[in-house]
Amino acid sequence: MQADFAELTSKLASGDTRALARAITLVENEQPGFARLLESLDVKNTPVIGFTGAPGAGKSSLVNAVVDHLEREGKKIAVLMIDPSSPFNRGAFLGDRLRMAGHFLSQNVFMRSMATRGSMGGLAPKVFEVADVLKAAPYDYILIETVGIGQSETEIAALADTTVLVLTPEAGDDIQTSKSGVMEIADIYVVNKADREGADTMYRNLAELSHRHATTNWEIPVIKTVATQDKGIDLLLDAIAAHMKTNHLPARRLRLLAAKAGMMIRALKTRNLDDARIEEALKAATDEPDFNLYRFVKTFAG
């Protein structure tokens, strides 16, 4: 088994996409030994670009166009599409996948979709692990696309080095009423479908918003694109490259890593604490005449 993983790890590290797909499936489904596989990976600092935004904003077309550009530069790209498993989005998502089908033939582009439970805190842990498997493979960029509903928007930002928020000229209300914090977590704003009416107003509003919230490190650039016509993609790639060069990235990565490690350590420390076991111990303890819950807890926690 151990030897098996060594082979799998070295194969995926050398660019074998079958090995990569197998490793992801293993981790995604928590098949036996998946934890050991993760421990054996050589996880590199592959740049991760996240794309988020409301359904219909054109995220998939934009990712598609970005992949095209990077591929032409001779880069190898892995794309992870997060499917929040909502019945409302499945149709559109399948459509998006078909639109990306052109890349399936390319040796330099690996694509994988991933269903997530979509429930509270559901996205992060598994996506994190799958992203780590991708980082152990020889890709120049990892692109993560998520349908922006609720929490997943902010969770993707916790995963990506650079988060691109994709908006349309009509998204004015979204910005005004945004409560999910997505405007705050984005590193780059894109006004996609910028050939539509209202694009300039949208652009100005975003630029003003961005300027108001600028830090010494970074003022969120606003990029106009028409992804389906391949317009504005160069500017977007420049903005991404500029953001990747800012000096706050190592600190952000460390913070992100610490948050993830904390989550994992807490889970490990409380692993065998199922309520059935606690209930069993309590049942005996409550028979004692001087039972006290607070003392019980202290003793049980050791």
Query: 């894109």: which residue's tokens?
Result: 190
- 3-state class of 94 per DSSP? helix
Spatial CA neighbour of 111 closest among 52, 71, 163, 159: 71
Q: How far is it, in rounded angstroms, from Cα 11 to Cα 242? A: 33
- What is the token pair recorded at 7? 């082979």
Residue 40 or 113 with smaller CB distance to a copy of itself? 40
Spatial CA neighbour of 59 closest among 107, 114, 97: 97
Q: How far is it, in rounded angstroms, from Cα 80 to Cα 131? A: 8
**Single residue of 32, 202, 257, 288 touching a copy of itself by CB under 8 A:** 257
**Single residue of 39, 200, 208, 234 touching a copy of itself by CB under 8 A:** 39
211 binds a copy of itself (CB under 8 A): no
Q: Which stretch binds a copy of itself (CB under 8 A): 163-171, 231-239, 241-249, 274-282?
A: 274-282
259 binds a copy of itself (CB under 8 A): yes
Q: Sign of the C-alpha dihedral, residues 99, 104, 108, 110?
A: positive
**Single residue of 71, 132, 140, 170 touching a copy of itself by CB under 8 A:** 132
- What is the token pair recorded at 4? 């098996």
Residue 173 or 290 with smaller CB distance to a copy of itself? 290
260 binds a copy of itself (CB under 8 A): yes
Q: Which amino acid is at 248?
A: H
**Single residue of 38, 109, 171, 183 touching a copy of itself by CB under 8 A:** 38
Q: Which stretch binds a copy of itself (CB under 8 A): 141-149, 194-202, 240-248, 285-293?
A: 285-293
Binding site for a copy of itself (CB under 8 A): 35, 38-43, 132, 254-255, 257-262, 264-266, 268-270, 273, 275, 278-279, 282-283, 286, 290, 292-298, 300-301
